[in-house]
Amino acid sequence: MRQLITIIVFVSSIAIGRANPANKESAVKIDTTEVVQIGGIKQFIKLQGVDDTKPLLLFLHGGPGTSLIPVADTFTDKLKAKFVVVQWDQREAGETLKLNHSPEKLSLGLLQKDTDELIKYLLKKYNRKKLFLVSHSFGSMLGFNFADKHPELLYAFIPISAIVDQRKSEQLTMELLNKWARETKNDTAVKELALVKIPFETEDDLFYSQKWLFIHNGVDFAKEEGFKAKYQVWLAVWFPMWKLAVTNNLFKTLPALNCPVYFIEGNGDKQQSHYLVEDYYKVLKAPKKALFWFEKSGHTVFNSEPEKLQQVIIEEILPAAFQ
């Protein structure tokens, strides 16, 4: 087992101290990885920022099982000036998977417990009362759960491409894809999409819907010969958990949150399923809330509009937390 070394680099403390004589605590640049014991296993986190006195901002990646760490620098370069940015590879994902497999059967509840434990660890270690929590896609199932249980520990919850009613989203997506397949006279798509049953019950239901959604959105790798074999590796690990996890409907189970919540949603691919988030936003009760549309993005806002994403968080969400 390779050993991961925690590195903390101390930079510019004197200059920052002089810039603000009233602040006797010198700021410390932080660029570190840690292996922490969470949920009974080793889990990997990465922390970066230019000033260790800034608030913590934790990202919950989606997938499930898809690490954001390899691409995180592209959408956090400006965030690091205003926050200590934390990336976490959840169990069976990224660097955490390299360290150890989960000895327990994967479940949404297990990942939610990991999230609770990690956030409390971060707050205690870095002596904070609250943090900012950002989620992407499947990660919202962890984020909403934490925001519901522990609103007092969050300055704000920021779900990107939130899952609010996956069953309805599946229906809307299949309606879109079937119409597109017929209109473009794509016989292969028509044939394979006809195999999909709603709600998704089998691995093939999810695979064919995702394959043609990728192709519809211009993702070329979904056309490759070996795409199904690669996707089946993910399905073997995650589909049993995913199938059980996506039955929740937040319209029914979570009508209110007691912390600020800011939705970030891309609608550049014109999918009607995006507007489920808007519908939920309208009915959700929260002390502060807002919905930010990203017109050039689909599901992965951080890839297509990283500058705007950071701008919204820094200029809109951060100031609101301290008003």
Q: Output the pLDDT for position 12.
A: 27
Of the chain, the percentage scoring pLDDT greater than 70 comes to: 92
Q: Tally the domains of the chain.
A: 2
pLDDT tens per residue across span 92-115: 999 999 999 999 999 999 999 999
Verify that 116 and 170 share a domain, yes or no. no
Average pLDDT over residues 137-152: 98
Verify that 275 and 158 share a domain, yes or no. yes
Any domain includes 7:
no
Q: For 197, phi and psi rounded to 5 degrees?
A: -110, 145
Any domain includes 3:
no
pLDDT at residue 18 tops 90: no
Instruction: Quickly tell me which residue has 């394959």 as its tokens.
Output: 211
pLDDT at residue 287 tops 90: yes
Verify that 139 and 260 share a domain, yes or no. yes
Average pLDDT over residues 35-45: 98
Measured distance CA(73)–CA(283) in Å, rounded: 35
Q: Which of 245, 261, 282 is the last residue of a domain?
A: 245
Verify that 25 and 81 share a domain, yes or no. yes
Give 76 or 6, the one with higher predicted confidence. 76
Verify that 173 and 160 share a domain, yes or no. no
Any domain includes 221:
yes
Give Dmax over CA atoms of the chain in angstroms.
Answer: 70
pLDDT at residue 19 tops 80: no
Q: Which of 245, 268, 300 is the last residue of a domain?
A: 245
Verify that 42 and 135 share a domain, yes or no. yes
Verify that 258 and 118 share a domain, yes or no. yes
pLDDT at residue 300 tops 80: yes
pLDDT tens per residue across span 233-285: 999 999 999 999 999 999 999 999 999 999 999 998 778 888 999 999 999 99
Verify that 82 and 229 share a domain, yes or no. no
Verify that 23 and 85 share a domain, yes or no. yes
* DSSP notation for 253-311: H-SB-SS-EEEEEE-TT--GGGHHHHHHHHH-B-SSEEEEEETT-SS-HHHH-HHHHHH
β-sheet bridge partners, residue 289: 261
Q: Output the pLDDT for position 25.
A: 47
Question: By residue range, what is the domain housing residue 79?
Answer: 13-165+249-321
Average pLDDT over residues 310-317: 98
- CATH code of the domain covering residue 75: 3.40.50.1820
pLDDT tens per residue across span 178-226: 999 999 999 999 999 999 999 999 999 999 999 999 999 888 889 998 9
Any domain includes 187:
yes
> If pLDDT is split at 50, 70 and 90, which confidence band does 26 have?
low
Give 314 or 27, the one with higher predicted confidence. 314
Measured distance CA(30)–CA(50) in Å, rounded: 6
Could you tell me where the beta strands, DSSP code E, fall in the chain?
A: 30-38, 41-49, 56-60, 84-89, 131-136, 154-160, 261-266, 289-294
Q: Which of 222, 245, 268 is the last residue of a domain?
A: 245
Verify that 148 and 266 share a domain, yes or no. yes
Verify that 198 and 267 share a domain, yes or no. no
Any domain includes 230:
yes
Mean pLDDT of the chain: 90
Verify that 61 and 134 share a domain, yes or no. yes
Any domain includes 287:
yes
Any domain includes 193:
yes
Average pLDDT over residues 24-50: 90
Any domain includes 278:
yes
